Amino acid sequence: MIGQLNYKHLRYFWAVARIGNLTRAAERLNVSQSALSTQIRTLEERLGQDLFERHGRALRLTEAGRIALDHADTIFKAGEEMLATLGGAPDARPTLRVGALATLSRNFQIGLLQPLLDRGDTHLMLRSGAPEDLLRELERMTLDLLLMNRPAGRDQAPSLRSHRLFEQQVSLVATPARLDGKRSVAEIMRDGPFILPSPDSSIRIGFDALAQRLDVRPTIIAEADDMAMMRLLARQGVGVAPLPPVVVRDELAEGELIEACKLTGVVESFYAITAERRFPNPALAALLDRVLDHADPTGGAPRG
């Protein structure tokens, strides 16, 4: 049972495993070497496993020892986070767990998190996945922030809040050779071929509606639900892609791709989803204050 685990013994084991030498660990912990050895043996007896292989003065972790060290790292890191969140240790380095849709623009994500990366005082844990899985993790508070291209449904997750960060109009982008100079939207739509997102995406719905208004049936050469894949295919000259410019910011700057024209009425929105908490993560509060109160961090269109 977890209640029978002596965390002082675990702390001593953790120190020895990290330092790699019993004598130096004893000095660091200000205990005698024999007392430290006794504490570790007690922990080994409690776990029923040898944690170290002893080769003279050298200590090597066993397989059980490596597993115990992974758990100890998690336990003591969680303790630091608790102190940081509840105010017991204002100098503790907070951890921010961020989830994002697997298909969301990496440029957008980096642009949003760049201030924390530049400061270096926050431990960022980044995870991508499907929206249903990430929303459940956010509700269970195993994530602090979720980045999506649509708001969370209030009927499905009433405790979640959706913050619209910004909205960017979608453009048709392709290699200069593929576009062969500036042309009208209708002409590009007729000629194609197109790399399109999946039919249920907001960009695809807007693109299909525009094609219907223009009375054209675009040639589709590829469909992908991942913006990174669309970006790669467009860069390879496979076809024309409807994308927010932030997704292909680097390629546009370097001239690998050009922005032919904006698609009127077709936009991509970016949202930060958070859960209501009694003790908000201080790193999250600082990030949202900056993003929601200042200019768009990605260089895209201002938020409405």
Diameter of the chain measured on Cα atoms: 85
Same fold, 95-166+270-293 and 168-269: yes
Q: How far apart are the first and last CA of the chain?
A: 53
**Residue ranges per domain, the chain?**
2-86, 95-166+270-293, 168-269
What's residue 296's pLDDT?
A: 47
What's residue 3's pLDDT?
A: 52
Residue with tokens 């700057």: 253
Cβ atoms of 242 and 196 closer than 8 Å: yes
Low-confidence spans in the chain with pLDDT less than 50: 1-2, 295-304
Q: Does domain 95-166+270-293 have CATH number 3.40.190.10?
A: yes
DSSP assignment of 79-131: HHHHHHHHTS-TTS--EEEEEEETTS-HHHHHHHHHHHHHH--SEEEEEEE-H
Residue 193, preceding peptide bond in cis (omega within 30° of 0)? yes
What's residue 231's pLDDT?
A: 92
Helices (H) and strands (E) in the chain, counts: 12, 10
Nearest to 148 by CA among 185, 105, 117, 115: 105
What's residue 93's pLDDT?
A: 66
**How long is the chain?**
304
Distance CA 73, CA 122 (A): 17
C-alpha Rg value of the chain to the nearest Å: 26
Instruction: For domain 168-269, give its CATH number from 3.20.20.190, 3.30.530.20, 3.40.50.2300, 3.40.190.10.
Output: 3.40.190.10
Instruction: For domain 2-86, give its CATH number from 3.30.70.270, 3.50.50.60, 1.10.10.10, 3.40.50.300.
Output: 1.10.10.10
For residue 82, what are the CA distances in angstroms to 50, 68, 73, 89, 117? 30, 21, 14, 9, 22
| pLDDT tens digits, 219-254 | 999 999 888 899 999 999 999 999 988 889 899 999
Which DSSP letter does residue 301 get?
Answer: P
| pLDDT tens digits, 173-198 | 999 988 876 677 888 888 889 999 98
Residue with tokens 């899985």: 133
